[in-house]
Structure 1
Amino acid sequence: MKRILVPTDFSEHAENALKVAAQIAIKNNSEIFLLHLLEIPTQLNDAITGAASIPEVMLFMKKAKEALRKLKEKDYLKDIQVTEKLRFERAFDGILSCSNENEIDLIVMGSHGISGIEEVLIGSNTEKVVRLSDAPVLVIKKGTKELKGTNFVFASDFSKEIKKPFKKMIEFSKIFDAKLNLVMICSPNSFKPTALSEKIMNDFITEYNITNYSTHIYNDVNIEQGIINFSNSVNANLIGLCTHGRTGLAHFFTGSISEDLVNHAVRPVITFKI
């Protein structure tokens, strides 16, 4: 993971994500792309085409560049190659396009977390990036300034379709020399007998050269709650899982475990696109 994208709105949440990205960059000799998106208010849109309010837009740009420069000078970024990016674009659109254009290997984002009707109707920018990003997305939760990563829970159904993202997960875990807690969650809606679950996991694992891991089967009322409760039981530092990136009506009716965890888990979450 040589190229890490860190979107920032200069908030405490975003800076915590940057600190974690710096930690990963030092361990992996990575470059950080520091991105700020300017979402110009509607009344200033004409300024982009050269009409009124150009001074206001120039002021926004100047202040954003100053803030990026100050952030780049932080001690924890010393000796790390940092490339600044400033774009006029909606947040999640700009993050995804910047990721694709620069062949980003990992996106690290801070999350404020949302719930209730706001979650249903709007969703967070972080949630949208998790759903649509081709690169893995690491979501840093409130108060996390360092990723220990030594106790890593990866939850899956261990089907054939996750083989490719599973390799990316192993690559990420090696950065921290993490212990992998591989878990299959069984719920009333996704029940499998224990013997079958064990066979699926064991058959899957034999294809990979990993040693520092354990396998678990955990029963709960639903998959999301099972992942959270299991992670609590092993005192995990990080939760990982795969996402299908569903959109439109399919996403509205089925929801996304990855996006729910991004909003509700208190631990950092990393997602890998199937």
Structure 2
Amino acid sequence: MKTILVPVDLTAAAEPALAYANKLAVRWPAEVVLLYSHPGPALTPEEVAEFEYRLETLAERLRYQQLVRQDARRIRYHYQVVAGCLHDHVQSIVARYGADLVVMGLEHTDCGKPANNGDHAARITELVSCPVLVVPPGRRPLPSRLVYATDFGRLPLATLPRLSALAGAFPGMLELVQVYSPQQRGNLTYLKRAVAASKSQLSWPTITTKLVEDDDPIEGISDYCARTQAQLLVLTPSREGELMRFFDKCYALTQAYHLQIPVLVLGHPAQVVAAVCCERCAKELQLQTIADSLKVTSLV
């Protein structure tokens, strides 16, 4: 049995993430662990019991609102209440329950403060070893069209079995998308081979590949997802600061497409090893990393 950890802040903003997790729990199937981190000092047993009751009430209400009764009854819930900030506890809770996936809201409030410039979602992905699914506001069905975007030229193939393990939860059409800059046109053969190598390692019903040219990898993949009406974006960041930019509130204000659909973060930059085919690629990688750092600085 799989386990989905759902951090909630007991606000209305947490409901879309739990509703989405409920649908995944039925399809996969999986158990659901609801985690609430209460800002402040240690809680009394009476306070813990009260918050657990509120979590149970939320779970019972949503599962019968969003699912048919037969499916809703199949979900088994666990409730966990801790004092302090979520990022201080999430790592130990993931380990305690052996969570296979964390499902969280895009607008999650932690330590009594709302997320700022995407730092909350980015921070959680750095702390846990399992994939993190970030769900924006609104109700939506489970996806049938998925896009996996990363720099396949730098992606360790050992990352891919973790994605294949999620095929049962997301059995749709998967497209591997490599965004490259105009300066990388001379390396297209290498990139095509890297994408093909990743495709061969994935167990998915239907897989296609695509190379997209754009100066900015984030805006390039966002535009591509909008054109193809992707319903889920799987992302493995390849550089430090990339997730901070990806979840930045400026994109929410401009209603960028990549923040209008669920985003599954598979791994983080510390797990991605640079793999370049020549000295020229190494120099381009170095310049791109510097450029990304400057973009992050300008957004903060």
Q: Distance in 2 between matches of 1:200 and 1:113?
A: 36
Equivalent runs, 1:179-258 vs 2, <5 Å: 179-187=173-181, 193-243=187-237, 254-256=240-242, 258=243
**SS of residue in 2 equivalent to 1:221:** coil
Q: Distance in 1 between matches of 2:181 and 2:37?
A: 40
Structure 2, gaps ≥5 residues long: 110-114, 252-258, 272-300
TM-score, structure 2 length as denominator? 0.73
Checking the alignment, whether the CA contact within 8 Å between 1:23 and 1:146 is kept in structure 2 is no
Larger RCO (alpha carbons 8 Å, 6+ apart): 1
Computed over aligned residues only, the root mean square deviation of the Cα atoms, in angstroms, reads: 2.7
- Cα gap change, 1:66 to 1:230, in 2 (>3 Å): same
Q: CA deviation at 1:140?
A: 0.2
Moved more, 153-162 or 186-195: 186-195
Structure 1, gaps ≥5 residues long: 49-53, 247-253
Q: Distance in 2 between matches of 1:113 and 1:17?
A: 10
Q: Structure 2: which amino acid aligns with 1:135?
A: C
Q: Distance in 1 between matches of 2:92 and 2:184?
A: 35
Q: Structure 1: which amino acid aligns with 2:235?
A: L
- Cα gap change, 1:208 to 1:36, in 2 (>3 Å): closer
Fraction of identical pairs, as percent:
22
Q: CA deviation at 1:131?
A: 2.5
Q: CA deviation at 1:181?
A: 1.1
- The question of 1:125 aligning with 2:112 is answered no
TM-score, structure 1 length as denominator? 0.79
- Cα gap change, 1:198 to 1:124, in 2 (>3 Å): closer
Q: CA deviation at 1:161?
A: 4.2
Indicate the residue corresponding to 2:130 in structure 1. 135
- Cα gap change, 1:164 to 1:14, in 2 (>3 Å): farther
Checking the alignment, whether the CA contact within 8 Å between 1:34 and 1:84 is kept in structure 2 is yes
Equivalent runs, 1:38-49 vs 2, <5 Å: 38-40=38-40, 45=41, 48=42
Q: Distance in 1 between matches of 2:189 and 2:20?
A: 39
